[in-house]
């Protein structure tokens, strides 16, 4: 990055770090509401994080994937759900910059970021009409549906039943948000269903999803910033993986601090004096370091190769990020196993961290079996069986 971009990145990270303690204070209330509190949203918005991946022409910072990684991990230390809600909305602003310039210019005419969930999967129909498309149906997993002004949904105008090849942008007032997000973990992400009833979407409010996946989307031609030449899947997986790695960092730190002063019921010596606990701390630290190092090494390779990477490279990136997420979950589980019954109280952040981690690893992007199989297929010369690579 240029010196100016490095300065913008440093300033953004400083602002994000400054609000982490306040965001942590909002985590329990956000979980109860099943969406971020208004105060949490205000804190995140005021930090400027939603501008991170927007081009300078749209009032953004035009930063790169390494800064996005730092932002996601830092926010994850406060609250996995809030960090996920935020990083996905940051990524969706990046996606809007791959739409036709006439639309994106109008969208960012006031130089303000847009808050919009994006949902691909569901039971829906999409048909081509004069001047655009008509969408109807229900889309699931709309993370960020609270506080939104637009939504994005996937659709297949060809109607051939294949993976959705386009994204469509729809104003909030033409969309129904169905409040279905009653879950065990990641409760504050507001990942509700998006429902459209025969909604017309102009041609300019659509983009090729497959172009964005390849790293050759419209944004790569419109903007000189390297982030717009980056394939979509590693950007999406950075958004989805960094919050839980950040939370694992927070969990391990709290465990070490708590252990230093803890004596268990009926115990004859402090926990810190037990070799078994010392080993757990070391294992947790090592697991966290492995997850974070693998993530950062992968992002460095993405930034070096971007759209010139082979399909095998892209499958390797996805596999590495998947393994980092599972390692972060396993680290949180290890700490939970060593923390005793008191950690299960609803007032202890550890029980929420573990529930959140178990939901994160269930995301389709982190299906470990599928990611290993996909890499193996490509490694032996077969064609991919997924477009999420």
Look at residue 268 in the predicted model and tell me its pLDDT: 62
- The H-assigned helical ranges of the chain are 3-33, 38-47, 65-78, 80-96, 101-107, 209-214, 218-222, 232-260, 275-305, 311-337, 349-360, 368-379
pLDDT of residue 343: 78
Q: What is the pLDDT of residues 15-32, one digit of tens each?
A: 999 999 999 999 999 999
Helix (H) or strand (E) holding 128: strand 122-129
> At how many degrees (to 10) do helices 311-337 and 368-379 cross?
150
pTM: 0.94
- Rg of the chain over Cα atoms, rounded to whole angstroms, equals 21
Q: d(Cα 290, Cα 307) in Å, to the nearest integer?
A: 26
Q: What angle do CA 379, 381, 384 make, to 5 degrees?
A: 80
pLDDT at 261: 66
Residue 161 has pLDDT above 60, yes or no: no
E strands, 160-212, in order: 166-171, 176-178, 192-202, 206-208
Token pair 């969408």 is found at: 135
Q: Which residue has the tokens 């691909």?
A: 120
Q: Which element (helix H / strand E) includes 141? A: strand 132-142
Q: What are phi and psi of 201, to 5 degrees?
A: -125, 120
Q: What is the pLDDT of residue 245?
A: 98
- Cα pseudo-dihedral 112, 225, 118, 249, rounded to 10: -100
Task: Look up residue 354 and give its two tokens.
Answer: 């573990």
Lowest mean pLDDT among 36-45, 60-69, 222-231, 274-283: 274-283
Question: Is residue 139 within 8 Å of 124, Cβ to Cβ?
Answer: yes
Q: Which of 158-162, 276-280, 306-310 has the lowest mean pLDDT?
A: 158-162
Distance between CA atoms of residues 360 and 299, nearest Å = 19
* pLDDT value of residue 344: 82
pLDDT of 243 > 70? The answer is: yes
pLDDT of res. 2: 86
Are 153 and 167 contacting, i.e. CB atoms less than 8 angstroms apart?
A: yes
End-to-end CA distance of the chain: 26
| Structure confidence by residue, pLDDT tens digits, 74-124 | 999 999 999 999 999 999 999 999 999 999 999 999 999 999 999 988 899
Phi then psi for residue 167, to 5 deg, are: -110, 145
Query: Tens digits of per-residue pLDDT, 182-237?
Result: 999 999 999 999 999 999 999 999 999 989 999 988 999 999 999 999 999 999 99
| Average pLDDT score over the chain | 93
Res. 163: pLDDT tops 70: no
By percentage, how much of the chain surpasses pLDDT 70? 95
CA distance 92 to 112: 14
What is the pLDDT, as a whole number, of residue 91? Answer: 98
Percentage above 90 pLDDT, the chain: 85
Residue 262 pLDDT: 67
Is 50 exceeded by the pLDDT of residue 162? Answer: no
Residue 260 banded pLDDT, cuts 50, 70, 90: low
């Amino acid at each position: 990055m240029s010196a100016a971009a490095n300065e913008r990145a440093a300033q953004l990270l400083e602002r994000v770090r400054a609000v982490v303690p306040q965001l942590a204070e909002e985590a329990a209330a956000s979980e109860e509401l099943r969406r971020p509190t208004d105060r949490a949203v205000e804190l995140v918005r005021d930090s400027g994080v939603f501008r991170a991946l927007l081009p300078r022409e749209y009032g953004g910072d035009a930063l790169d994937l390494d800064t996005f990684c730092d932002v996601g991990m830092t926010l994850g230390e406060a609250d996995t759900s809030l960090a996920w809600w935020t990083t996905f909305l940051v990524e969706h602003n990046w996606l809007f910059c791959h739409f036709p310039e006439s639309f994106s210019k109008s969208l960012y005419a006031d130089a303000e970021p847009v808050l919009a969930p994006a949902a691909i999967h569901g039971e829906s129909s999409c048909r081509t009409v004069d001047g655009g498309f008509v969408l109807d149906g229900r889309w699931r997993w709309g993370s960020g549906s609270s506080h939104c002004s637009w939504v994005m949904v996937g659709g297949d105008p060809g109607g051939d039943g294949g993976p959705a090849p386009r994204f469509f942008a729809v104003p909030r007032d033409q969309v129904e948000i169905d409040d279905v997000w009653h879950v065990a973990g990641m409760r504050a992400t507001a990942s509700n269903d998006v429902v459209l009833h025969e909604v017309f979407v102009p041609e300019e409010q659509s983009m090729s999803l497959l172009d964005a996946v390849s790293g050759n989307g419209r944004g790569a031609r419109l903007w000189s910033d390297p982030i717009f030449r980056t394939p979509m899947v590693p950007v999406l997986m950075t958004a989805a993986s960094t919050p839980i790695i950040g939370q694992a960092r927070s969990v391990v730190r709290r465990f070490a601090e708590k252990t230093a002063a803890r004596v268990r019921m009926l115990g004859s010596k402090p926990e810190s004096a037990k070799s078994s606990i010392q080993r757990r701390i070391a294992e947790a630290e090592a697991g966290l370091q492995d997850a974070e190092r693998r993530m950062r090494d992968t992002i460095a390779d993405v930034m070096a190769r971007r759209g010139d990477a082979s399909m095998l490279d892209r499958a390797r990136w996805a596999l590495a990020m998947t393994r980092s997420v599972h390692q972060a979950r396993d680290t949180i589980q290890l700490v939970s196993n060593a923390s005793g019954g008191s950690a299960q109280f609803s007032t202890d952040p550890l029980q929420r961290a573990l529930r959140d981690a178990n939901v994160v690893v269930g995301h389709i992007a982190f299906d470990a079996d599928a990611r290993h199989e996909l890499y193996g297929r490509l490694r032996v010369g077969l064609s991919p069986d997924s477009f999420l690579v």
